[in-house]
Structure 1
Amino acid sequence: MSTAPYGVRLLVGVAVTALDETRKLPQTILAYPMTVASQLAHLVMKVQQDVADLVIRGDETLEELFPPKDEQPEWATFDEDLPDDPDEPVYEVPVNRATGSPVASRSEGRFALYSEGEPERAADTPAPHTPAPGTNGSAPSVVTELGYDALTLAQLRARLTSLKVDDLETLLAYEETTKARAPFQTLLANRITRATAK
């Protein structure tokens, strides 16, 4: 078998390759956008990794040159930093006498402001009885109209905008002489302050 000249072999190789690529062209055209997108995504991720590496090396170098100071400002105090005070009162958790287990009160916890009704009392503690302000020991009209005794803090907050200053003061006086719930008193007092400032 005789060997063809180099130029002829080159031209035949180019022609055969062009023919093969022409046959693959429909598949290549369909796959080309995905190939470009994946290469672009790879390039972007590589750049992000390189930038992150540079930032980390910069942080390490800066920490070596300028060691960090104590992060806690001198004015900040935490419970662990305070010395034990022997005069500090110790709060005890109420215990059920029958079972010996701790008693959870509805007035405790993060939902205490939104719970309905009064906090639970121990069976041997009588409920305080004070007459409500109003005529002949009865509740004022604004209290009965709103159904104030059954309102949660959120429900009361929603109704405050429709009340006059006199009604707010009446509700505050009623709350102080009956249940004396601090969140309700604060809410009413703040609303009275805002309403009178206008």
Structure 2
Amino acid sequence: MATAPYGVRLLVGAAVTAIEETRRLPQTILTYPMTVVSQVAHLVMKVQQDVADLVNKGDETLENLFPPKDEQPAWATFDEDLPDDESAAGGPDGQRLTEGRFALFTGGADAVTEEEKTPAPAPANEVPEVVKRLDYDTLTLAQLRARLSSLRVADLEALLAYEEATRARAPFQTLLANRITRASAK
């Protein structure tokens, strides 16, 4: 077969392509909105990345020209800023913070004072088994709260009696009493 001239081949190829695209038109129309949305999202993300790169370069340049001052706000106090005797005691007046909201975080192994290292004297009778099992004397209020759901009412009552007879810490007594009330109501 003889080869058709270049212009004829170009026109036939364009006509066939137009026919094929016309046949695909219904499918293309359905996917076109998603294609446009995808391309717009890509463009927006690219612009955001370019802007962020420019801001980073600006930050680096300004930091090189004007080094940041190593300042600390007057109201910020850190443990290493306090005198040794004040940071070890826990409070500005040298007393441990064991009441109110601070009671949640006191009493752990690293926060135990010399007085608390030895367990409180047991009442006239033997120390309850649940106290030994939980290592109750070293628990913080938050740690005790986490263990309450696994205890029976009798164990809770034994803990409350032990707390009242030894340290008598109000937050611990309240927590135990409230749990006993809820557990008894069930």
| TM value normalised by structure 1 | 0.48
Tell me the alpha carbon deviations over residues 17-40 of structure 1, each in whole angstroms, 9 at most, x when there is no partner: 111111111111111111111111
Calculate the aligned-residue CA RMSD, in Å: 4.0
Tell me the alpha carbon deviations over residues 73-125 of structure 1, each in whole angstroms, 9 at most, x when there is no partner: 3553322211112894575448354449453799x67xxxxxxxxxx532598
Equivalent residue letter for 2:24: K
| Higher RCO (C-alpha under 8 Å, 6+ residues apart) | 2
Unaligned runs of 5+ in 2: 97-112, 143-162, 169-186
SS of residue in 2 equivalent to 1:3: coil
Alpha-carbon distance in structure 1 between the residues aligned to 2:32 and 2:16: 22
Residue 103 (structure 1) aligned to one of 112, 116, 137? 137
Residue 121 (structure 1) aligned to one of 164, 171, 181? 164
SS of residue in 1 equivalent to 2:164: coil
Structure 1 position 9, deviation (Å): 1.6
| TM value normalised by structure 2 | 0.51
The answer for the alignment partner of 1:193 in structure 2 is: none
Runs of 4+ in 1 over 3 A off after TM superposition: 86-94, 96-106
Unaligned runs of 5+ in 1: 110-119, 126-198
Alpha-carbon distance in structure 1 between the residues aligned to 2:11 and 2:69: 73
Aligned residues: 122
Equivalent residue letter for 1:66: F
Structure 1 position 10, deviation (Å): 1.7
Mark the structure with the bigger radius of gyration: 1
Alpha-carbon distance in structure 1 between the residues aligned to 2:166 and 2:59: 63
- The structure carrying a bigger helix percent of its residues is 2
For 1:85-164, list aligned pairs within 5 A: 85=85, 88=94, 91=113, 92-93=115-116, 95-96=119-120, 97=122, 98=127, 99=132, 101-103=135-137, 120-122=163-165
Q: 1:26 to 1:66 in 2, by over 3 A?
A: same
Q: 1:24 to 1:15 in 2, by over 3 A?
A: same
Tell me if the contact between 1:95 and 1:103 (Cα under 8 Å) persists in the aligned partners: yes
Matched, 1:19 2:19: yes
